[in-house]
Amino acid sequence: MSMSFDLNKYFVMGTANCKREPLLVLEEALQAGITMFQLREKGKNALKGDAYAEFARQCQKLCQTYKVPFIINDDVELALTLNADGIHVGQEDTGIKQFRSCAKNKIIGVSVHTMEQLEMAIANGADYAGIGPIYETSTKDDARAPVGLTLLQEAKSQYPQFPIVAIGGISVENSFIVRQTGVNGVAVISAISHSDNIKEAVNSL
Ligand code: 3NM
């Protein structure tokens, strides 16, 4: 059993997603009330090596201050080194069984794009699934075709107790209709990281 967590307002970010100092963006989002944070350091100018680890440590420290779970995308080694609260993996990333065996009480999230992948994630012991992209997104280079709201509805009707977060193209404007599917929360990058008023964006999501 992993530690408790709340998917309600899940902010995902890496340095490439920020137009301002990333740690300031994160702190404003934390102050505004995000419930979960995932460091997703991707792209051609992504931090590497010590700079990446140090940035991750600083993000973790902020999350600890605000008592928000700190999740690392696709990097089991760093997650274990930093004793992060959890890891988020895609379909192509390291299997979750490996992470679970060395981190029993950690949060494990998996990105899924079909009902079959969702069933597999649950069978493999994931703690939550991210379903997406719900809408078109320009943030993820290799994003698949949007799955729309029907997959969220199907997932929640078949697995009402399993925590599900919607991701991909979610904005302040469309988050209301996304939430009507019964999902546990919305995960966003640009709706927060590109916002000129993070407090308002987080409040409105
Ligand atoms: N994963 P934005 S879509 C990181 O479909 C990510 O699994 C997705 O960025 C998936 O909120 C996506 O700016 C990008 O659209 C989300």
First to last CA, the chain: 29
Q: Which two tokens stand for residue 19?
A: 């137009």
pLDDT tens-place string over residues 4-13: 999 999 999 9
Give ipTM to 2 decimals.
Answer: 0.99
Length of the chain: 205
pLDDT tens-place string over residues 11-40: 999 999 999 999 999 999 999 999 999 999
| Mean per-residue pLDDT, 183-195 | 98
Provide the percentage of residues in the chain whose pLDDT is more than 70: 98
pLDDT tier, 94 (very low <50, low <70, confident <90, very high otherwise): low
The pLDDT of residue 88 is: 96
pTM: 0.97
pLDDT tens-place string over residues 120-173: 999 999 999 999 999 999 998 888 899 999 999 999 999 999 999 999 999 999
The pLDDT of residue 120 is: 93
User: Cis omega (within 30 of 0) on the bond before 133?
Assistant: yes
CA dist 57 → 39, 81, 87, 140, 150 (Å): 10, 10, 15, 24, 38
Place of tokens 């990058």: 189
Q: Given a cut of 60, is residue 183 above it in pLDDT?
A: yes
Q: Give the number of the atom of ligand 1 that is nearest the alpha carbon of residue 147.
A: 5
Mean pLDDT of the residues in the chain: 95
Q: Establish whether 157 is a catalytic residue.
A: no
Interacting residues of 70 by C-beta distance below 8 A, sequence separation 6+? 37, 39, 59, 60, 63, 64, 84, 85, 86
pLDDT tier, 84 (very low <50, low <70, confident <90, very high otherwise): very high
Q: Establish whether 140 is a catalytic residue.
A: yes
Q: Which of 2, 9, 106, 111 is catalytic?
A: 111
Q: Which ranges constitute the DSSP H helices of 46-173?
A: 49-65, 76-82, 96-102, 115-123, 150-158
Q: Establish whether 57 is a catalytic residue.
A: no
Mutate-to-test residue for ligand 1 from 41, 114, 138, 139, highest number of ligand atoms within 8 A of CB: 139
Q: Taking Cα atoms as reference points, which of 107, 116, 55, 110 lies closest to residue 83?
A: 107
* Smallest CA separation from ligand 1 atom 7, residue: 132
Q: Which pairs with CB-CB distance under 8 Å and at least 24 residues apart come from 109-115? A: 109/38, 109/71, 109/165, 111/167, 113/144, 113/147, 113/151, 114/147, 114/151, 115/151, 115/154, 115/155, 115/158
